[in-house]
């Protein structure tokens, strides 16, 4: 039997999942690649992997997508790693540079701008080095480890998960595990158990991260207090509401964000 091909996000927020999946990989059941969120979705869309940790906004674009496992990447309040960074307050922002590694967060920024912040900035695509574009009245969406490392450089930091919580009272789901392949019940249970193992051994995950030369102080607090991994009923409601808001955007607005 060929191993199942899995793409997982390479950010620190996925460290517990990677910890569990490495053990499953060692058994020969899977092969694991580490990618940014947009790459996870693209690989699943192209059929080069069978399972991916996919941004929720991208799930609809993947043929035969099926959400699996009881786990996600979510937050019930500030997430710290998904931010709008700016030198000026919200009402003075005239344009927003979008993170090229993101789909869900870019779309969330548009939903919040229109429905909660009540601002109408211009949105712009970006490439690597987008941080250099953030200045004056031009703000930027930055996600993942890059956000954790750079947000102290800006006068205003708006946490998108926290803003969503203020707006709706619900948690936010950034990514779900998705498969395009018919999986056996036995494998799905194995896969879910591997993810559960990582989540339930966060202390070991943190110790492993602390042994690495690029360990960033505050990572333990981030994993323990800012991220929420279980896909419960409130997260399901939050995800459905987000997708409902996102569906009101025009096709041109959505293309602008991708």
- Would you state the pLDDT for residue 100? 85
Compute how many other C-beta atoms are within 10 angstroms of the C-beta atom of residue 84.
27
Selection from 86, 74, 64 nearest residue 139 by Cα: 86
- Would you state the pLDDT for residue 171? 98
Question: Which residue ranges in the chain fall short of pLDDT 50?
Answer: 251-254, 256-258
Q: Which residues pair with 143 in a beta bridge?
A: 82
Query: Phi/psi of residue 158, each to 5°?
Result: -110, 115
**Residue 20 · residue 196 · CB < 8 Å:** yes
Beta-strand ranges (E) seen in the chain are: 4-9, 30-35, 51-55, 66-75, 82-86, 95-97, 122-124, 138-143, 156-159, 172-179, 228-230
d(CA 8, CA 215): 20
d(CA 119, CA 234): 28
- Would you state the pLDDT for residue 1? 64
- Would you state the pLDDT for residue 249? 77
**Residue 38 · residue 128 · CB < 8 Å:** no
Q: Which residues pair with 139 in a beta bridge?
A: 96
Q: Which residues pair with 198 in a beta bridge?
A: none
- Would you state the pLDDT for residue 125? 84
């Amino acid at each position: 039997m060929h191993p199942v091909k899995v793409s997982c996000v390479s950010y620190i927020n996925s460290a517990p999942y990677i910890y569990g999946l490495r053990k499953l990989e060692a058994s020969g059941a899977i092969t694991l690649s580490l990618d940014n969120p947009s790459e996870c979705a693209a690989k699943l869309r192209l059929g080069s992997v069978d399972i991916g940790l996919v941004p929720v906004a991208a799930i609809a674009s993947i043929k035969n997508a099926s959400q699996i496992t009881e786990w996600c990447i979510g937050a019930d309040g500030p997430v710290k790693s998904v931010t709008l960074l700016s030198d000026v307050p919200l009402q003075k922002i005239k344009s927003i540079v979008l993170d090229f590694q993101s789909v869900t967060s870019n779309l969330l920024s548009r939903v919040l701008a229109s429905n909660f912040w009540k601002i109408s900035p211009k949105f712009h695509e970006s490439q690597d080095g987008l941080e250099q574009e953030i200045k004056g009245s031009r703000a930027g969406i930055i996600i993942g480890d890059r956000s954790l490392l750079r947000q102290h450089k800006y006068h205003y930091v708006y946490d998108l998960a926290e803003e969503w919580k203020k707006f709706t009272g619900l948690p936010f789901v950034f990514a779900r595990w998705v498969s395009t392949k018919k999986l056996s019940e036995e494998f799905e249970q194995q896969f879910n158990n591997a993810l559960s193992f990582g989540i339930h051994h966060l202390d070991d995950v943190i110790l492993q991260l602390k042994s690495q030369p690029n360990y960033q102080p505050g990572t333990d607090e981030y994993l323990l207090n800012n991220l929420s991994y279980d896909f419960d009923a409130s997260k399901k409601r939050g995800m459905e509401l987000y997708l409902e808001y996102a569906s009101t955007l025009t096709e041109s607005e959505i293309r602008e964000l991708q």
